[in-house]
Amino acid sequence: MNHIRSDIEAVEKNTALYDEKRFVSRVEAIDFIEFNVIDRIEGLLQTNHASAELAAWKEAAESVKRRLEAIDHALFQRLRADIRMGGCTGTTFKTLVEDYVRPDASGRRQQDGSGYDSLDLFINGLLLTQALPSETKSREPEMVYYQQTPARIIFELAEKAQLTEDDAFYDLGSGLGHVPILLNLLSGATAKGIEFEPAYCDYARACAADLNLPRVEFINADARAADYAAGTVFFMYTPFRGRILQDVLAKLRGESQSRRIRLFTYGPCTSHISEQSWLMRIDQHADYPYKLGVFSSR
C-alpha cells in the first residue's frame, strides 16, 4: 500500500507538472497515474472489496489526474481563442507548438516510421474537441480505412512545400481535417480537403469553423469526381489503391497539362506514384513508405 501512496504523492508534489509549458511531462504523468496507479488499485480492489484505504487512494489518484488534465484543457481553450482572433498563425503557430513539444523533449517524438508521438497528442488536444464520429457510408474495396496523418509529417510537408497565399492545397482523403487545418495555420494558404465519408467531412468543417479559418474548406466528394481546377499542391496518405488510385492520378495528370503541380505522398502509395512517367521525384524516399514523398509534374 505504501508504494501506491508514494507514487501518487510523487506526482502530486512535482510542481513542474503544473507549469503549462511542461506538456510532455504532464502527458507522461497522466499516463503513469492512469495505467500504473489507478489500474493497479482497481486490480487490488477486485480481490479486496472491503478496503476503504484503497478506495481512498483511488480517489486521490483520480483527483491528481483531473488537476493535470484541467491544465491542458485550459491551455487548449486559450490557444483556440488565439487562433480565432488570427493571432496564432504562420511562424507564430509553429514556434508556439515547438515551445510546448520540443523535438528532443521526449523519446515519444518519432523521427521516422508510421508511429505517433507527443506532437500528435498536442495537436489532437488542440483540434479534436468533440466526440469522434462513426462512419456512415460503405467504402469500396480499394478505399483504405482512415488513419490520421502523423503531425510531424504535416509539419515537414509545410516546411518543404513552402506554400504561399497564392497556392491552393488539396488533401485527398482528408478524414477529420488535420492536414488542411494545420497547413493553413502554418502557411496561410487556401487548403481544401476531399473526403468520401460525410460524417468525417462534417466534423472537419465544424473544427475549421470553430477556429475561424475561412480559407479552409472540406468537400464531401469522391476524389475521382472532385474539381481540382485551382489546385497547385496535393497530398495523399494512401487513401485508396488499385484502380481508384490510378484514376485519381490520371485526373491529376490532366490538371498538370495546364500548370505545374506538386504532389506529396505518405504511406504505401508512394512507391506506385514514383512509377508515374509524368511525375518527377524530388526526394529519394520512394522505397521508404513512411517518409514524406515529394513529386513535381514534368
Cell numbers at residue 247, please? 484514376
| Predicted pLDDT of residue 51 | 82
Residue 106 has a pLDDT of 45
Instruction: Tell me what pLDDT residue 287 has.
Output: 78
What CATH topology corresponds to 151-297?
Rossmann fold (3.40.50)
pLDDT digits (tens, 9 = 90+) for 251-298: 999 999 999 999 999 999 999 999 999 999 998 776 789 999 999 999
Q: What is the pLDDT of residue 50?
A: 63
Cell of 105: 523533449
Close Cβ partners of 196 (under 8 Å, ≥ 6 residues apart) = 137, 139, 143, 173, 220, 221, 222, 223
- Give the chain's residues under pLDDT 50: 104-109
CA 132 to chain centre: 13
Distance CA 55, CA 45 (A): 8
Single pTM value for the model: 0.92
Nearest residue to 8 (alpha-carbon basis) of 68, 54, 60: 60
